[in-house]
Amino acid sequence: MTLLNPIAQNFRQLVEKLWALFQLPSKQAITRPESMSTVTRDEFETVKELLMSAARYAESANRGLERLEAAQERTQANLDRLSASMGEMSARFELAQNRTQAQLDALTVRVDVVSSRVDAFVSASQHYFTKHGESIEQLKGISENLSGILSYLVRKEQQQ
């Protein structure tokens, strides 16, 4: 119940008391009935109607406030559900983010391992190429020497 509901009830009771007062015979309601004119009775009737109208308006406003309060409660319930849903989604997102970060870290470690292996392979390959290049140069020199010796032997053989 809203604060306006008791106010509307009190207002309604006041109007009902005034209505009962106007329903009394004129001797009981007014000490000097001769001073009560038709205009005064019409004014009282107008006041009574205005009070009744105000009471109906207050009751209508109270019903409107009750509807507004119910809508506010529904909205709050929806907000609570939305907040819970957002909390749940946030937890899921954080879990997925942590999993993704762990996978990224593992992948980074693997890439580092592969990179170091490739670096080792390249270094070893360069070492072997350098070593074999030197050996090839030595073998070329030996081959030229052997060619020269063979030529000398062939010429010597031909001269004999």
pLDDT band at 19 (very low <50, low <70, confident <90, very high): low
Q: What is the 3-state secondary structure (H, E, C) of 63-105?
A: HHHHHHHHHHHHHHHHHHHHHHHHHHHHHHHHHHHHHHHHHHH
pLDDT, tens only, 36-65: 566 577 777 777 788 888 878 888 888 989
Which of residues 129 and 95 earns the better pLDDT score? Answer: 95
The pLDDT assigned to 29 comes to 44
Q: Each residue of 21-41: pLDDT tens digit? A: 666 554 444 445 555 566 577
Q: Which residues contact 14 (CB under 8 A, 6 or more apart)?
A: 51
pTM for the model stands at 0.45
Higher pLDDT, 12 or 88: 88
How does pLDDT run across 133-156, given as a tens digit for each residue? 888 888 998 999 999 999 999 998
Q: How confident is the model at residue 1 (pLDDT cuts 50, 70, 90)?
A: very low
Residue-level pLDDT at 157: 86
